[in-house]
Structure 1
């Protein structure tokens, strides 16, 4: 049975609340000398994918190329990211983490993990794993649905078995 409208709205509200709480945590624990939360997100995606085209990175982050360009310029200046021309396409650039960038991402993950571990001290390991599995499934489902959207539109494809109105 499909999710009903009320449950979908409640889940949307809960996701927004979770995002706000994560932002609050990040603001309290971010290193003022290091890259900010947005740039750390850029670095994590680069770290997950290795060397990647800047345009593909912007797509994965869901941001415009102009905004990404600003982040990348700062990260290159800080020594966390390297950028080079794409050998097969002179208009494109490939970006990757430097050794310092890889170390910064790993350190930040350890730091954030320790904070979250402390905050979840009254949770069991099973509860944490269950939450992780649910969030993974939700993220994967949303990502699949987003990829199925027609480019340049905000319309979702019509689910199987339903007629267009």
Structure 2
């Protein structure tokens, strides 16, 4: 049986509120060396690997100008670098630097610790079940023709940018 309209709307609302709750639970502005929006760019770039700025903007559902400002901050902080595109020397690739990788690793470690603290009354089985459902939902919300990927290979694509969740 298909998902009913009221259930789908409740799910949209719950996902939106979940995103806000998650950001509040894991972000700690005192400890974070970079702003949460910049961390999102670092995460996406570390998953994608070196790419053109327009490709990254599409994957993040951001305008070129918004991403350009964020990348400038990351480049100035030494967390991202721009290099000539090996296939087109007129274009540039952006990629995470070693310093960026380390900042991202520490940020993820700190955020994970914050989340573990908030999930103190959850069992490992409950957390694993939630992870399975969130991964399934992520795959369902990012339409693609190929078969369902595992967690490590979920691509950041522009396909999901038209979603009403923004």
Short-chain TM bin: 0.7 to 0.9
Answer yes or no: is the 8 Å Cα contact 1:26–1:37 preserved in 2.
no
* TM-score after normalising by structure 1: 0.83
Give the match for residue 6 of structure 2: 6
How far did 1:44 drift? 0.4
1:89 is aligned to 2:101? no
Give the match for residue 149 of structure 2: none
Give the match for residue 159 of structure 2: 147
Give the match for residue 132 of structure 1: 131
2-structure distance, mates of 1:83, 1:31: 28
SS in 2 for 1:144: coil
| Structure 2, unaligned runs of 5 or more | 145-157
* TM-score after normalising by structure 2: 0.82
2-structure distance, mates of 1:33, 1:112: 9
How far did 1:32 drift? 6.4
Bigger relative CO (Cα 8 Å, ≥ 6 apart): 2
Answer yes or no: is the 8 Å Cα contact 2:26–2:115 preserved in 1.
no
1-structure distance, mates of 2:46, 2:99: 12
Give the match for residue 112 of structure 1: 111
Equivalenced residue count is 150
1-structure distance, mates of 2:13, 2:67: 28
> Is the alpha carbon distance of 1:43 and 1:132 closer, same or farther for their aligned partners in structure 2, counting shifts above 3 Å?
same
Greater gyration radius: 1
> For the aligned residues, what is the CA RMSD?
2.1
Q: Which portions of structure 1, spanning 4 or more consecutive aligned residues, are displaced by more than 4 angstroms?
A: none
Deviations 1:63-97 (A, max 9, x none): 01111000001100000001112122245321111
